Amino acid sequence: MELGSNVNENNFKSIRARGGLNIGLNARTSEKLAFALLTLSAMTTAGFVVIILAYIIYNGYSAISIEFLTEMPRMRMTQGGIYPAIVGTVYLIIGSMAAALPTGIMAAVYLNEYAGENRTTWLIEMAISNLAGTPSVVFGLFGLALFVKYFGFGSSLLASCLTLSLLIIPVIIRSTQEALIAVPNEYRESSLALGISKWQTIRHVVLPAAIPGIVTGTILSIGRVAGETAPILLTGAAYFLPRLPDSIYSGFMALPYHLFVLATSGTNITQTRPLQYGTALVLLMIVLGLNLIAVLIRRHYRQKLKI
Amino acid sequence: MTEAIQNVSHPQIEVENLNLWYGEKQALDNISMRIPKNSVTALIGPSGCGKSTFIRCLNRMNDLVKNCRIEGKVSIEGNNLYGKGVDVVDLRKHVGMVFQKANPFPMSIYDNIAYGPRLHGVSKKDMDGVVESALRSAAIWNEISDRLESSALALSGGQQQRLCIARTLAVKPEIILFDEPCSALDPISTSKIEELIVNLKNKYTIVIVTHNMQQAARISDYTAFFLMGRLIEFGKTKQVFQNPREKSTEDYITGRFG
């Protein structure tokens, strides 16, 4: 009796073990495979960032000096610094953000909180999607036609800022919309139920809760503005201008275009190699620095909202 | 309709022939009822019977729902809410609402309470008093008076719900609507809120949607039974529970369906 039952149980166990093992192996193998692939993809992406950074830092750090950061380019750009290009890029970021942030946020609030589901809304949404997919050189040509020529701003900081703001408005609208959608509807309802108007609800509850998401969109746009070359090339960036812009109607130098000039059409491409890497390094540092500030702002607001 | 409705001589809320559609679907079918002042009225019925839809007609929260169409009359102190030129924002100052899920804003406890009064123009120097009295009325002051500046989201579920009640009281409404306020709370928090609601009826008129029939029996003066968008029975709670007029009310109360 006892023996028999033992045998039976063992049989049953081994059958179960075999079946279980089979399934387990399959599931485990595919799990491992998927995990490896996913990790590889993530690592590859991070790896490229590290390689690019390391390469530029390695080649560029020797060019970095106080003079490089604070002086005008000299000797047909083969010596001296990149000060006007740094200032130009910073102006571009400030100017285009000043134009695009309010417009983009207000447009997103309209679309998300006010607009009904109708043909007009659909058309606006379609236009934004298409705007986001338009090549930047087209924006450059458009800016040239509208701001430089038609409005008569000339080849200027103003024209470039406005052109760049058109480029990033779709990014800001989209990320603001995402952030607004993520705000729980209960906040809106309970505010309205207190006899608070819709606009006050948006202003005092919805927008503050959406700030972290809006800042994320801003981070993306800052990188875009700092790095774009085609739109500013057509609307205001100067090949060589050894002074700072003195008004919004002046031309200006900017880091990405300066880099392009040094690397492709400069007076002595080989001699300026260190300057090119140095310029790239400064551009990267400005973008990373601004991103860092934006991340800190985002974290500050997230923590404030949570506990 | 039933006697109790006619017996209410000075109703604060008077609903006449209220019909409501969500698109093609009729959610409320010819509802008429008179809700007396300074009382607790419980709305009971199975899920989807229209009780939440009904309570949301009393402060026009259904305005926010797309494709929602309303016919009929809801009057408060004789003024039709659905008449011309009604200021919905102003209406909601007078008819507060507490929701099923406790939903404090992501702000400090103090700012949660001060939010409404601040935007309604209460000055900074009066604000401390308004906040304290609202928190006291909602029976939560003693638990949190030492940490008014900490986040409201750190409170327990029951405390959050009482905070939401305090937030509503701070705006000084005359009527408070409760939409299943205890459905996500434990029994102890629930009993605290029930006690609070009974105390609040001295100053406010209260309408509460509840899934919990014991709760309706414990705290309400009047009970309305809804079924499939219709008001089946409305009367004094005692009468509805002990001697229901309608067969379906009895079936629901005794747990035969729902």
Query: Is the per-residue pLDDT at B163 higher than 90?
Result: yes
Q: What is the pLDDT of residues B65-117, one digit of tens each?
A: 888 999 999 999 888 999 888 999 999 999 999 999 999 999 999 999 999 99
Which of B89, B72, B194 has its CA nearest to residue A193?
B89
Residue of B nearest to A204 (CA): B115
- Highest-confidence segment of A286-290, B48-52, B163-167: B163-167
Residue A21: per-residue pLDDT: 52
CB B244 within 8 A of CB B256: no
Phi-psi region of B72 (alpha: psi -120 to 50; beta: other; left: phi over 0): left
pLDDT tier at B129, thresholds 50, 70, 90:
very high
CA–CA dist A232, A254 (Å, integer): 8
What is the predicted pLDDT for the residue at B256? Answer: 73
Angstroms from B256 CA to nearest CA on chain A: 34
Residue with structure tokens 């006892």? A2
- Looking at residue A1, its pLDDT comes to 40
Longest Cα–Cα distance in chain B: 57
Residue of B nearest to A210 (CA): B106
Residue A246: per-residue pLDDT: 87
Q: What pLDDT is stored for residue A173 in this prediction?
A: 95
Q: Check CB contact under 8 Å for B167 and A194.
A: yes
The span from the CA of A188 to the CA of A155, in Å, is 46
Q: What percent of chain B has pLDDT over 70?
A: 95
Q: What pLDDT is attached to residue A137?
A: 94
- pLDDT (0 to 100) of residue A10: 52
Residues 6+ apart with CB under 8 A from B91: A195, B59, B60, B76, B81
- All residues of chain A having their beta carbon less than 8 Å from the beta carbon of residue B167 are 190, 194
Percent of chain A at pLDDT > 90 equals 57
Q: What residues have CB less than 8 Å from B212, skipping those under 6 apart?
A: B182, B183
Best of A192, A204, A211 to disrupt the B interface by mutation (most B CBs within 10 Å)?
A: A192
Q: Which residue of B has its CA nearest to A200?
A: B119
Determine how many CB atoms are found less than 10 A away from the CB of residue A67: 12
pLDDT tens digits for range B4-28: 454 555 688 999 999 999 999 999 9
CA–CA gap between residue B163 and residue B146 (Å, rounded): 15
Question: A6-15, A36-45, A68-77: lowest mean pLDDT where?
Answer: A6-15
A195/B89 touch (CB, cutoff 8 Å), yes or no: yes
Q: Which two tokens stand for residue B24?
A: 């093609």
ipTM of the shown complex: 0.91
On chain A, the residues whose CB falls within 8 A of the CB of B175 are none
Is it the case that residue B240 has pLDDT exceeding 80?
yes
Chain B: residues touching A (Cβ < 8 Å)? 59, 61, 64, 66, 89-94, 96-97, 99, 101, 103, 105-106, 115-116, 119-120, 151, 153-154, 164, 167-168, 171
What b-and-e string marks burial along A128-139, b requiring 16 or more CB atoms within 10 Å of the CB?
Answer: beeeeeeebeeb
Strand partners, B35: B13
- Give residue A51's identity as a one-letter amino acid code: I
> What value does the mean pLDDT of chain A take?
87
CA dist A66 and A82 (Å) reads 11
Mark yes or no for CB contact A186/B106 under 8 Å: no
